[in-house]
Chains A and B, each alone.
Chain A
Amino acid sequence: MFRDDDAGSDTWCLARGFAAVTVLGLAQQLLTPSDAAALAANADAVRAATELARAAAASLGLEFGVGGGGAV
């Protein structure tokens, strides 16, 4: 049994018509979690993904958000 590769989006983001992006590790571990320890351990990747998503949203004329209604 392994973690599904969904973004935490199907019950929140997509249902609201938002695009969603998440960061996955090679072992499909959670890299953009609400788990503070995991978040800290992967802070560089999460930060890079956040900057990227923010820039992409700006270029697309989209609002940018983090967390899908909660803390990432």
Chain B
Amino acid sequence: MGGGRQRGGSLRWGRSAAPPAPLFFSSRRPDTPFPLSSLPPPGTVGAAREGALAALPAVALSLDDHKAKDGGDFLSAAAQGAAFVAAFLAAHPATAPSPLTGRVLNLNFPAKDAAPATRLVLAHQGGHCWRPGFDERFVRTQQVGVEWAGGGRRGGHKGEDGAAATPPPPRAPLPSQGDPPNSPRGPADGGAPPPGTAGVRYFWNVGGGSRGEGVARGAARARSFPSTARPPPLL
């Protein structure tokens, strides 16, 4: 489980024989650029969905707190999440099909600063729709251009208590990660690289969206400048 709802880590079951080994996918903090040698992890629900696609029990666990950083921030939610997973596995073992095969359970916990949850509610999915979008960024410390899967919400979220939906305000451009104000950015669609960035590796993110924190989601593919075309989506 990692920081930030939706950005929190995912838990899914691997493809190994029973008993299935849980695999954690931690979210990446926006101030923690991913190393060049690795690819950004899939998003929280996306990782769980991978498990569901393989007909494995799949749960996404998230904490409603994108400021949570270290293990202590997750203790309460992790304990409750582990109990939930244990109950899930007991009722729906990976070795037997169940009505939840091919489904993803998305479990959300309140922020770490809140009191431990006293109630577990089976809720319907949110009313938001996500409009995919991409932001060009240059991570100075890694000397990489990064195309972040971003976007924004459309449509308000109707509270179940009948509160009127409040359309979200227009999104401001996402901040770049650690780059100076006049840092070069990668071109949106190929073309000439910014001055001094020839040879900089470039990443393309697909498969999810960040929510303002700039957390990379989805699979990624590296390429080098110059390039004239975006790589195809990996989905």
Chain A contact residues, CB within 8 Å of chain B: 1-14, 16-26, 28, 30-34, 44-45, 47-53, 55-57, 59-60, 62-70, 72
Contact = CB atoms under 8 A, between A and B. Distances in A.
21 contacts: A1-B130, A4-B126, A6-B108, A6-B125, A8-B123, A9-B121, A12-B123, A12-B160, A13-B108, A21-B84, A21-B105, A24-B49, A24-B106, A25-B104, A45-B100, A48-B92, A49-B103, A52-B87, A52-B92, A53-B120, A67-B121
Given A11-B159, A64-B120, A26 B129 contact: no
Interface string B45-79: 10001001100000010001000000000000000
Interface string B21-35: 000000000000000
Given A18-B110, A25-B104, A68-B124, 12 more contacts: A4-B126, A6-B125, A12-B161, A14-B5, A17-B119, A19-B107, A19-B109, A28-B45, A32-B124, A45-B99, A49-B103, A60-B84
B125 A32 contact: yes
Interface residues of B, number: 56
A53 B108 CA distance: 12
Interface of B: 5-6, 45, 49, 52-53, 60, 64, 80, 83-84, 86-88, 91-92, 98-100, 102-111, 114-115, 117-132, 153-154, 157-163
Contacts of B84: 21, 56, 60
A56 B83 contact: yes
Nearest to A72: B124
A53 B6 CA distance: 20
A62 B119 contact: yes
A19 B104 CA distance: 16
A22 B123 contact: yes
